């Protein structure tokens, strides 16, 4: 809450920690509502999430639940009767994505980021930008076409053609100007996102590149600090090369040292340069 400058939240978002699509769709909603994203997993973690909500959400505040009962148990709704509860659950992740964006209120002419719905890496990097993320498959659905027609802004594809195909890119050109940010790896794409959307930041958030749970909540945190979310692991060189071109001298690491080592984090943030470089 200190990061947001609030004593208590007006809204809090709940999403499954066992899948990435709903939580990453919710990153823009989190930006608009100045709300954190909490992850649900099982009864123990659901109870912890409810306890956090009771301690940190204003009386009469809103809890947004992303996904159906298979994602976040209906039992959670029953534990939140003191609050306004709104659940967004479509027939699939594309439908849920659009429901979330509609609630967030994407304005006409706004930049929209387009990411694949079948992989998490690109949308994880994008989640720190504070921009709406549209998750796509092999082609645009009728509902997605309608959404893009109403927005009519610029479109930025995150990821290469193996993620968002050239054919789909051609479809997108009917709805606005289209550009693509793509590196040869997820690490390099993450850096390209940082370079495009963050002007000489002073801090960064590091997330593990080969799995998503630790990073799912990191995008909204990074956005509030004006910091990019950089994907890394033992292959820390793209992240380090990026920070050396900025004023970044520190930041946050999401997850344990077994995923992103302390040594790699210190080198990425240009600290303790007398230490030997971590092996890759």
Mean pLDDT of the chain: 93
Structure tokens at 202: 């002073």
pLDDT at 277: 53
How far is the C-alpha of 202 from the C-alpha of 239, rounded, in Å? 14
Any bridge partners for residue 135, and if so which? 115
pLDDT at 226: 95
Render pLDDT for 106-133 as a digit per residue (tens, 0 to 9).
999 999 999 999 999 999 999 999 999 9
Phi, psi of 143, rounded to the nearest 5 degrees: -65, -40
Structure tokens at 10: 């007006």
pLDDT at 108: 92
Say which residues have a Cβ less than 8 Å from residue 33's Cβ, sequence separation at least 6.
10, 11, 13, 62, 64, 104
pLDDT at 237: 92
Distance of CA 260 to the CA centre of its chain: 19
pLDDT at 160: 97
Say which residues have a Cβ less than 8 Å from residue 35's Cβ, sequence separation at least 6.
9, 10, 11, 12, 13, 29, 64, 220
Phi, psi of 48, rounded to the nearest 5 degrees: -65, -40
pLDDT at 152: 86
pLDDT at 243: 94
Extract the residue ranges of the chain whose pLDDT is less than 50: 280
Render pLDDT for 32-42 as a digit per residue (tens, 0 to 9).
999 999 999 88
């Amino acid at each position: 809450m200190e990061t947001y400058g609030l004593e208590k939240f007006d809204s809090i978002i709940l999403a499954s920690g066992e899948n990435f699509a709903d939580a990453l769709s919710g990153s823009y909603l989190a930006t608009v509502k100045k709300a954190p994203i909490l992850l649900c997993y099982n009864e123990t973690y659901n109870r912890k999430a409810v306890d956090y909500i009771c301690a940190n959400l204003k009386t009469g505040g809103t809890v947004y639940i992303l996904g159906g009962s298979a994602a976040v148990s209906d039992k959670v709704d029953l534990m939140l009767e003191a609050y306004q509860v709104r659940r967004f659950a479509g027939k699939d992740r594309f439908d849920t994505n659009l429901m979330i964006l509609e609630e967030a209120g994407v304005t006409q002419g706004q930049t929209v980021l387009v990411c694949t719905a079948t992989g998490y890496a690109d949308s994880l990097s994008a989640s720190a930008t504070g921009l709406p993320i549209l998750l796509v498959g092999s082609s645009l659905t009728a509902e997605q076409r309608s959404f893009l027609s109403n927005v009519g802004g610029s479109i930025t594809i995150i990821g290469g053609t193996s993620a968002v195909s050239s054919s789909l890119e051609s479809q997108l050109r009917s709805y606005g100007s289209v550009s693509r940010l793509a590196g040869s790896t997820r690490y390099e794409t993450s850096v390209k996102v940082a370079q495009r959307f963050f002007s000489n930041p002073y801090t960064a958030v590091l997330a593990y590149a080969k799995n998503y749970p630790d990073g799912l909540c990191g995008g909204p945190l990074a956005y509030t600090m004006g910091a990019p979310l950089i994907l890394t692991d033992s292959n820390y060189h793209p992240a380090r090369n990026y920070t050396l071109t900025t004023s970044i001298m520190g930041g946050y690491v999401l997850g344990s040292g077994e995923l992103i080592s302390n040594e790699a984090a210190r080198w990425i943030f240009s600290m303790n340069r007398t230490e030997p470089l971590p092996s890759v």
